[in-house]
Structure 1
Amino acid sequence: MATFKAEVEDYDASDLVELAGGPDWTPDPTRVAILVHDMQPYYLDVLAAQVRSRLLSEVSALLKRAVDLGVPILGSGPRPATEPVQRGLLGSMWGLGPDPRQAEETALDELVSPDVVWVKKRSYSAFFATDLAEELRRRGRDQLIVAGVFATAGVLATSYDAFARDIQCFVGVESTADYTKRQHAVALTLISALTGRVQPTASLLS
């Protein structure tokens, strides 16, 4: 059970496809990797039930296409803490966070694989205090598809850090989610304007 609360609503992310846009970049299976951001039940269970179900379906389909194309898959999750202070400002805003067991859980069977590389982070961005950038360099990848939650927090922050590292970032509309439709829309709008390309999930590895 999450140690934080949020007001959530049910919405259909496909309604936000009209927000697709951004730089004229194209995901290349020989250059791109996928980061599944914070898809632990601890976070997902906060979402409205239908939002959670649709997100899981979209990310699962994306990962299956990635496997077929030989695209590397990485996952991110929080570093567990025993005291809020260990989480820095996240602790004062969101509480203790997931315990060690919760931090190791995943909501997707596709992520239970020795081929998936995990990074443990201590802030919103999956690049902060992790070796995500090094893992991408080892694989010769300079493009990154980010899927998961929450769009206005970790997904957005990761896209800014990718941009700062000259890594082209892609975000699928339906393979990300947030507490509300408005928050999701805000994140997609900022990403397409400032840090990456937003497009329908089905077109990311078509």
Structure 2
Amino acid sequence: MGLPVIASYSMPDRAALPRSCASWSIDPERAALLVLDMQNHFVRAFPAQRSPVVELVENIAALRELAGTLGMPVVFSAEPAAQLPGQRGLVADVWGPGIGDEPEESAIVERLTPRPGEHVLPNVRPNAFLRSHLGRLLRSQGRDQIVVCGVYAHLGVLLTAADAFMNDIQPFVVADAVADFSAEEHSMALRWAARSGVVCTTDALLRDLLLGRVPRDA
């Protein structure tokens, strides 16, 4: 099938968010930031310089800056380029061959280029935990909360958040730092994510991270 043509739509605001079943509070000493599939191949499916991609990139950038300041692990999950049919498996039947061998297509968007000390993990399935060492990375750094952002909300974001929950890692899905094929699918993904995690806005999460900061010299 391949990627659809995505029309511009507005990011959800706080008033439109579903009520989260969980009441967890974010803690920068326990949390890691996960940025899913923010590669040119996927991001270019959105209309350039319009909603939701403008807010998507800027909000992820803001989360990444604060995460780095607070010493939170920052993890990028990226689909490998030029996968062989045996590597792609059933995903090829639904989404086609994936990213080709052009380096520009597989690169993470320039605004979010990974920095030294940040982690980049291959993502061969929409669930970032599957066939990767994401779980081991989080455990090795004593992290049992994960902030999930990126694309696409009803695929990688939702599946990754659900797997985190099933592995006793508290997921926080940032409603205006994810995007999807349409506003309807975006909203649907948030409703499902709210059943097993916390759905919040970028501004609210940035505020709560600052409020929850534990002085490192204490």
Give the structure-1-normalised TM-score. 0.91
2:159 is aligned with 1:160: no
Q: Are the aligned partners of 1:39 and 1:148 in contact in 2 as well (CA < 8 Å)?
A: yes
Distance 1:17 1:66 in 2: 25
2:189 aligned with 1:170: no
Runs of 4+ in 1 over 4 A off after TM superposition: none
Q: 1:21 to 1:5 in 2, by over 3 A?
A: same
Q: Percent identity?
A: 33
How well do the aligned residues superpose, as a CA RMSD in angstroms? 1.8
Which has the larger share of helix?
1
Kept in 2: contact 1:31–1:141 (CA 8 A): yes
Aligned to 1:150: 152
**Structure 2 gap ranges (5+):** 208-218
Which amino acid letter does the alignment assign opposite residue 170 of structure 1? F
- Structure 1 portions without partners, runs of 5+: none
Question: What is the CA distance between 1:63 and its match in structure 2?
Answer: 0.9
Q: Is 2:24 the counterpart of 1:25? A: yes
Q: Say yes or no: does 1:53 pair with 2:54.
A: yes
Assess, with a 3 A threshold, how the Cα gap between structure 1 residues 196 and 90 changes in structure 2: closer, same or farther: same
Per the alignment, residue 199 of structure 1 pairs with 200
Give how far 1:17 is off: 4.7
Which deviates further from its counterpart, 117-126 or 97-106? Answer: 97-106
Whether 1:6 aligns to 2:4 is yes
> Shift of residue 16 of structure 1?
6.4
Aligned CA distance change for structure 1 residues 128 and 174 (closer, same or farther; 3 Å) = same
Pairing of 1:1-206 with structure 2 (within 5 A): 4-15=2-13, 17-22=15-20, 23-49=22-48, 50=50, 51-100=52-101, 101-102=103-104, 104-193=106-195, 195-206=196-207
Which is higher, the Rg of structure 1 or of structure 2?
2
Quickly say closer, same or farther: Cα 1:88–1:16, change in 2 above 3 A. farther
C-alpha separation between the residues in 2 aligned to 1:86 and 1:97? 11
Report the counterpart of residue 213 of structure 2 in structure 1.
none
* CA separation of 1:66 and 1:17: change in aligned 2, threshold 3 A: farther
